[in-house]
C-alpha cells in the first residue's frame, strides 16, 4: 500500500516535470473553449456559464508552462528563453486574477466591469501570442 503510494507520487511528479508541447496545445484548446463558454455566458446573461468557464480557465492557465525542451535550451537563446518562463508566470497570475474578478463582478451585477475583465483576459492571451509566437 505504502509502496504503491510512493510509486504514484514519483510517477506523478515525473509527469509534472515533463510538460510537453502537446500538453500545452491541448491546454490552449481547453482555454479557447472556456473563453467561448464565458462569452456565451455574457450573451445569455448566465452566471453559471461564466463561472464554469472561469473555473476551467483559471485552473488550466496555471498548468501552462514552457515545455522542457524550451526551458533547457542553452547557448545564445538562454536569455530569451528565461524571459519566456518569467513571462509565462506573470501572465498566468494576471489571467487568474482577472478571471476571479470577472466572476465576482458578474455575480454582483456589475456587467460592465465583468466584461472589461473578459476583454483584459483576451488581451493577455493575445499579448503572449504576439510576443512568444509572433502571431
Q: In the complex, which residues of this chain contact ligand HEC (CB under 6 A)?
A: 21, 24-25, 28-29, 31-32, 35, 57, 64, 88, 91, 95, 121, 124-125, 128-129, 132-133
Distance, CA of 94 to CA of 48 (rounded, Å): 22
Given a contact cutoff of 8 angstroms between Cβ atoms, the answer to whether 83 and 75 are in contact is: no
- Nearest CB to ligand HEC, comparing residues 2 and 133: 133
Given a contact cutoff of 8 angstroms between Cβ atoms, the answer to whether 16 and 63 are in contact is: no
Distance, CA of 80 to CA of 66 (rounded, Å): 12
- Nearest CB to ligand HEC, comparing residues 11 and 83: 83
**Residue owning grid cell 488550466:** 60
Write down the least CB distance from residue 95 to ligand HEC, Å.
6
Write down the least CB distance from residue 74 to ligand HEC, Å.
20
Write down the least CB distance from residue 105 to ligand HEC, Å.
18
- Nearest CB to ligand HEC, comparing residues 3 and 72: 72
Amino acid at each position: 500500500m505504502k509502496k504503491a503510494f510512493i510509486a504514484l507520487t514519483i510517477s506523478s511528479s515525473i509527469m509534472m516535470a515533463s510538460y510537453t508541447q502537446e500538453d500545452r496545445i491541448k491546454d490552449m484548446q481547453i482555454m479557447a473553449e472556456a473563453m467561448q463558454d464565458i462569452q456565451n455566458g455574457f450573451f445569455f446573461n448566465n452566471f453559471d456559464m461564466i463561472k464554469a468557464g472561469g473555473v476551467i480557465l483559471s485552473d488550466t492557465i496555471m498548468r501552462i508552462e514552457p515545455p522542457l525542451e524550451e526551458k533547457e535550451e542553452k547557448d545564445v537563446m538562454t536569455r530569451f528563453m528565461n524571459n519566456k518562463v518569467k513571462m509565462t508566470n506573470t501572465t498566468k497570475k494576471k489571467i487568474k486574477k482577472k478571471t476571479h474578478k470577472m466572476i465576482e463582478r458578474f455575480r454582483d451585477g456589475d456587467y460592465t466591469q465583468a466584461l472589461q475583465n473578459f476583454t483584459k483576459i483576451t488581451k493577455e492571451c493575445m499579448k503572449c501570442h504576439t510576443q512568444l509566437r509572433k502571431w
